[in-house]
Amino acid sequence: MLLLLPLTIPVFGAGLILAFHNPRAATRTALVLGGVEIAALGAVVWQVHAHGELQQGRYLRADGLSAFFLMGIAIVSGLVLIYASGYLRHMGEGRFSSPRWFYALVFLFLFTMISVCLSANLGLLWIMMEGTTLASALLVGFYNTEGAVEAGWKYLIVCTVGIAFALFGTIVLYLAAVKAGIHPASALDWVSLMDAAPRLRLDPHLVKLAFVFVIVGYGTKIGFVPMHSWLPDAHAEAPTPISALLSAVLLNCAMYALMRYDAIVSRSVGPAFPHVLLLIFGVMSMVVAGLLILVQRNLKRLMAYSSIEHMGIIAIGLGLGGPLGLFGALLHVFNHSVAKSLLFFSAGNVRHNLGTLRIDEIQGISRTMPQTTAALLVGGLAIVGLPPFSLFISEFAILSEAFAQARYLVVTLFLMVLSVVFGGFAFHFFRMLGGEPDRRHENSKLIPSEFIAMGMAALCVLFFGARIPHAFSLLLREAVAVLR
């Protein structure tokens, strides 16, 4: 029953919030419901940690890997809800663009992403993954400006086509499983597929074909180059809290799906084939996004390309495999989502105060917005992977695994991209932070909700850089154990 709780709360919550026409009441309801939802997710994570995997009926299941991703969802969605409560204060009452619609859609979006992590069945996982696109498309186009409508349409079309390929891959895997003698009713269950994976070896072509379609399909949602075209647009045009949710939760959920398939395919036809594909997509995403970071003119597009780069890093960790590679990849999933939320929150503040996100129009914010500047600095230094921040540890783990496997080409490209990205971020940030501020803008401080959200994210980035708590590393180890 415990697994049904985090799924029912957001659905009923979405309906409940729509009943509140007063923006303040809607916001308060959303915060309370968010708190309850996080508690429910926490209970699931705790149960999995204490008693092992949970199963509910044939379609819902939570194991160590799900628990790890659910924890990430709980933390980031908590931060986003707190931040949004202040961010939406200027929003008027449009037809579909009022705070109550915003929160209702956010809760539906959360519902789909949580269901992705709780699906025991690969078919259900696909359905919910498509659901994430549907639930978030209206949020991407929320402002209804020309750019937002264009970004929303592009997002909807590109991701739906991409995910259609993932459906085809799922069908091919199903076919291989049925042919290998698994009963059709359970031929899409992840556990029975893992158990029967060695028998799938009878048809290596089918399994490989399935993985190619799945990596292209879910890779579109992850934002792998060259299927990334929707990602910068959607991140830049969506309201800031949504940008943070897209980058820090949605991309991770798609990565989670890919990890599940990778585990099955590695066990049946050997890790060489899927891992080479992951390495190719990972390196390609890293290199292309790293170079594009240099030429960005919009702060949020800069962050979006950085997300593509980090998804590439995670794919490389996954593609290297091995204890350190997987450990680094999963740790990086978590670290990236916290640091990127912090950066998006700061970008949102800049937009609120200066009315623009164009990097060449932002100057001297270190004098007018000292708190936001501090957040941008912490987030920026963390995202380029400098010690003592948490992303350094995960990137270092992935690099050591690459060294241990003597993959020098990967190592070289990895380090080159990291230094290019460092240069790009330093270049953009110095221009924005330094210089003479525009006289028209007064000094501005953070309001409490923004201060809490950004402060918590910054503390998290710093804390996990200093040491990884014991309970967290146990969760991480359980997640790695599921995949191996």
**Which of 5, 25, 91, 167 lies at the binding interface for other proteins (CB under 8 A)?**
167
Cis, peptide link before residue 226, omega less than 30° from 0: yes
Min separation Cβ 127 and other proteins, Å: 4
294/376 Cα distance (integer angstroms): 17
The residues pairing with 358 across neighbouring beta strands, listed in sequence order, are 298
**Counting contacts by CB under 8 A, is residue 309 touching other proteins?**
no
Report which of 239, 234, 233, 246 is spatially closest to residue 351, judged by C-alpha positions: 239
Helix, strand, coil % (nearest 5) of the chain?
80, 0, 15
**Counting contacts by CB under 8 A, is residue 178 touching other proteins?**
yes
454/62 Cα distance (integer angstroms): 30
Instruction: Report the Cα–Cα distance between both ends of the chain, in Å, rounded.
Output: 28
Query: Whose Cβ is closer to other proteins: residue 425's or residue 464's?
Result: 425
Min separation Cβ 167 and other proteins, Å: 6
**Which of 25, 31, 164, 386 lies at the binding interface for other proteins (CB under 8 A)?**
164
What is the 8-class DSSP label of residue 246? I
Applying the rule CB under 8 A, the residues between 441 and 470 that interact with other proteins are none
Q: Which stretch binds other proteins (CB under 8 A): 147-155, 261-269, 271-279, 321-329?
A: 147-155
Min separation Cβ 439 and other proteins, Å: 31
Size of the site for other proteins (CB under 8 A): 51
**Counting contacts by CB under 8 A, is residue 50 touching other proteins?**
no
**Contacting residues for 134 by C-beta, under 8 A, at least 6 apart:** 112, 156
Given a contact cutoff of 8 angstroms between Cβ atoms, the answer to whether 479 and 67 are in contact is yes
**Counting contacts by CB under 8 A, is residue 149 touching other proteins?**
yes
Min separation Cβ 366 and other proteins, Å: 27
**Counting contacts by CB under 8 A, is residue 232 touching other proteins?**
yes
Min separation Cβ 140 and other proteins, Å: 10
DSSP string, 26-58: HHHHHHHHHHHHHHHHHHHHHHHHHH--EEETT
Min separation Cβ 101 and other proteins, Å: 13
**Counting contacts by CB under 8 A, is residue 483 touching other proteins?**
no
What are the distances in angstroms from CA 102 to CA 114, 142, 146, 239, 253?
A: 18, 8, 19, 10, 21
- Kindly list the residues in this chain that would bind other proteins in the complex (CB under 8 A): 59, 121, 123-124, 126-127, 130-131, 133-134, 137-138, 141, 144-147, 149-154, 156-157, 160-161, 164, 167-168, 171, 174-175, 178-179, 184-185, 188, 203, 205-206, 209, 232-233, 236-237, 292, 295-297, 301
